[in-house]
């Protein structure tokens, strides 16, 4: 099952929600401002990243500057606890399932979450559409 960590005010989060809903994808929405994050949530995210905390930590957030975090000296577990206490430190949206994670919204990459059968259907639809166009063109040529 897909989990979407979001903030209602974030534009990319709204895009991600719209995309999931327009593709009839079941997902669990987690408003990070309302529902407290658990350390195990953050750990599950980190296990899917390529580069660890760098990928999920929002260095541009106000709270990051306010807390004056020294990333060279803070330990992984302390940083996890800090994100739990200050969810604004988390980049958003975070879209993940048990195999993959996407941080931020990217129209192309989010397609990784589409079930294979849905992607196959889309591919078939696109192929039929293209074939239909070709047939249509051929008919027009014949008529003229």
Partner 1 sequence: MLDVYHFDQLLTKQCLELEKYLQYLIDSNQRVMHLRFVPVIDEQFLSFSKHEQIKMAQQPPVNRQQLAYRLALDFKAAQLEGNKKARHFLMHMQEALVAKHKDYSEDLVQEVAEFLDMDTDDFLHNRMDIDTINALIAEQSYVKDNIAHTTPSILIENYRQNLAECFRNCTLQDLKALFEPDAQTPPTNLPAAHTIFSKKSPKLV
List residues binding partner 1 (CB under 8 A): 39-40, 43-44, 46-55, 75-77, 80, 98-100, 108-109, 111-112, 114, 116, 119-120, 122-123
CA distances from 6 to 30, 90, 92, 144 (A): 6, 10, 6, 56
Q: Would residue 13 show up in a list of annotated catalytic residues for this protein?
A: no
User: Minimum Å distance from CB 123 to partner 1?
Assistant: 5
Strand partners, 101: 96
Distance CA 8, CA 14 (A): 7
CA distances from 58 to 36, 82, 91, 97, 117 (A): 17, 12, 5, 21, 35
User: Minimum Å distance from CB 14 to partner 1?
Assistant: 23
User: Minimum Å distance from CB 49 to partner 1?
Assistant: 5
Of 3, 8, 9, 10, the catalytic one is: 10
Q: Which is nearer to partner 1, 33 or 97 (CB)?
A: 97
Q: Which is nearer to partner 1, 7 or 46 (CB)?
A: 46
Q: Position of tokens 């003229």?
A: 144
Residues with catalytic function: 10
């Amino acid at each position: 099952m897909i989990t979407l960590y979001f903030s209602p005010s974030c534009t990319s989060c709204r895009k991600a929600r719209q995309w999931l809903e327009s593709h009839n994808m079941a997902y669990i929405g987690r408003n990070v401002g309302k529902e407290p994050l658990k350390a195990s949530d953050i750990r599950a995210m980190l296990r899917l990243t390529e580069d660890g905390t760098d990928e999920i930590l929002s260095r541009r957030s106000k709270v990051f500057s306010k807390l004056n975090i020294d990333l060279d000296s803070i330990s992984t577990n302390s940083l996890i606890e800090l994100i739990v206490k200050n969810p604004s430190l988390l980049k958003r949206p975070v879209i993940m399932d048990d195999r993959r994670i996407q941080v931020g919204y990217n129209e192309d990459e989010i397609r990784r979450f589409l079930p294979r059968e849905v992607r196959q259907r889309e591919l078939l639809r696109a192929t039929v559409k293209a074939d239909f166009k070709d047939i249509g063109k051929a008919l027009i040529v014949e008529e003229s």
